[in-house]
Amino acid sequence: MASTDWLSQGTLVLASNNKGKIAEFEKMFAALNLPVNVIPQGQLNIADAVEDGLSFVENAILKARHAAKISGKPAIADDSGICVPLLGGAPGIYSARFAGAHGNDAANNEKLLQKLKPLRKAGEAVEGMFVCVLALVQHADDPLPQIFQGIWTGEILEAARGGNGFGYDPLFWLPELNVSSAELSKEEKNKISHRGQAMRLFKASLAK
């Protein structure tokens, strides 16, 4: 199958029920002006997949296959999170449920701050990176999912800053811009973020 065969299907299912992600994706897909309707899986009453993979790539593929199987349509899924080398890459794939309950941003942020507190050294920045993996499947049994990966590097703040974005955005510091991710507008964030990077690779694949 050609990599763009899914375009003829008329519909692409976005395998996410995360409101923050969906809002960002809707803006990015609108900018692509694709000849298909991109529908969040919630509109098709598709529940979240069980994410039992051990990597962002595995979980993105699991979510895409799950949505494609139930909908009978091509699907694209995002698995993303924040990785902190000082914590051995944690929270990583467990970012959304780092503190236990899925999607409790405040608790997740607080746990990250507490984990880092005893490890911080005066005058030394704590490196962090947002990771996004997009997986596109033509159908549930697609043997060749297309993978698009973006990595956004920055630093982890000692306290939250900014009211925009979601997840760990208030703790993600961009020294070159002197702002946190949560102090960027959606448009500014999408130009440089891990998700924006992955989407640009996705866009480039359409031209091949």
Q: What is the pLDDT along the chain (208 residues), one digit of tens a residue?
A: 446 777 777 889 999 988 888 888 888 888 888 778 889 999 999 999 999 999 999 999 999 999 999 999 999 999 999 999 999 999 999 999 999 988 899 999 999 999 999 999 998 999 999 999 999 999 999 999 999 999 999 999 999 999 998 999 999 999 999 999 999 998 899 899 999 999 999 988 887 6
Q: Any idea which fold 5-206 has?
A: Maf protein (3.90.950)
pTM, two decimals, is: 0.90
The set of residues, in sequence order, having a beta carbon less than 8 Å from that of 88 and lying 6+ positions away, is none
Question: Cα dihedral sign for 77, 146, 202, 80?
Answer: positive
Phi, psi for residue 154 in degrees, rounded to 5? -165, -150
User: Percent of the chain beyond pLDDT 90?
Assistant: 77
Q: Which residue has the tokens 């994706």?
A: 25
The set of residues, in sequence order, having a beta carbon less than 8 Å from that of 126 and lying 6+ positions away, is 84, 86, 116, 119, 120, 155, 156
| 73, 40 contact by CB (below 8 A) | no
Residue from 133, 129, 158, 128 nearest 147 by CA: 133
What is the 8-class DSSP label of residue 85? G
Report d(CA 166, CA 190) in Å as an integer: 13
Mark whether 105 is an active-site residue: no
Give per-residue pLDDT as tens, 100-149: 988 899 999 999 999 999 999 998 999 999 999 999 999 999 999 999 99
Residue from 139, 165, 170 nearest 76 by CA: 139
Catalytically annotated residue among 48, 78, 79, 105: 79
Q: Residue type at 99? A: A
Report d(CA 196, CA 15) in Å as an integer: 17
